[in-house]
Amino acid sequence: MMGKPVIEIRNLSKIFRRDSFEVVALENANLTVEAGEFLCLMGPSGSGKTTLLNIIAGIDRPTSGELRVLGEDVARLDEDRLAAWRNAHIGFVFQTFNLIPVLTAYENVELPLLLTRLSAAERQKHVLAALELVGLADRIRHYPRQLSGGQEQRVAIARAIVSDPTLLVADEPTGDLDAHSAEEILDILSRLNREFKKTIVMVTHDPRAAHYATVTRHLEKGQLLPLEPESRQVAER
């Protein structure tokens, strides 16, 4: 795996067309993310951050350009293969948590594993380990409405990592949280990066987030600005 980037993007563009109206959401973006990096994508609202993240994660497809994620030419996979690829390799964390309200924390985290061949006993081992890692071992029977926003997001992170994906993508994971909960979430993501060697791509407005990332890139009006040498840093503890 040495020297093989997790994400390689060349001249990537995304144009949304509605009737005769066009929005250039992303224009000729170039990006390389190496294994073990924690990339922070910043930029104003509407600059194309979510579009880029969704294309990387195989949720959306580019209009033109080249894209390889974990060695796979994801834009060319058909829907079934794409879904299988996402389940196997990508963990998602969203701003609004997206937990299922009628399921407990445990059941929410178990959900991705129901698509695998793991036995019930193996699933339980993984679910408890993931909830333990985010500090919620004592909340497994709670429903989302019985949890704080920060706790809900920690359940969402447990769900994202329970199948041990190589790449984690997070779209404004602290956007709906108070400052204290936001820092807890950033700490967990940073730990997943440093201790568990997860490659992470995180979209954020949060200026504190850049301190946790190993590299920060800025988007402006669909343009991914060139990497500034000083923006690749040793992550702060």
C-beta closer to ligand ADP: residue 43 or 58 = 43
- Residue 134 or residue 209: which is nearer to ligand ADP going by CB? 209
Identify the residue among 50, 151, 174, 204 touching ligand ADP (CB under 6 A): 50
Q: How far apart are CA 74 and CA 163, in angstroms?
A: 20
Q: Residues in the site for Mg ion, rule: CB under 5 A?
A: 49-50
Between helix 120-133 and helix 149-161 the angle, nearest 10°, is: 130
How many positions of this chain bind ligand ADP (CB under 6 A)? 12
**190, 214 in Cβ contact below 8 A?**
no
Residue 226 binds to ligand ADP (criterion: CB under 6 A): no
Contact between 43 and ligand ADP (CB under 6 A)?
yes
Q: Which residue in 7, 29, 49, 163 binds ligand ADP (CB under 6 A)?
A: 49
Q: Which is nearer to Mg ion, 25 or 70 (CB)?
A: 25
Q: Identify the burial level of 77 via C-beta atoms within 10 angstroms of its C-beta, where 0-12 means exposed, 13-18 middle and 19 or more buried.
A: middle
Q: Is 208 left (phi over 0), alpha (psi -120 to 50) or beta?
A: alpha
Looking at 44-52, 102-110, 137-145, 206-214, which segment touches ligand ADP (CB under 6 A)? 44-52
> 193 vs 204, which CB is nearer to Mg ion?
204
Contact 105, 141 (CB under 8 A): yes
The CA distances from residue 196 to 40, 131, 149, 166, 199, in Å, are: 18, 15, 24, 10, 9
Binding site for ligand ADP (CB under 6 A): 16, 18, 23, 25, 43, 45-51
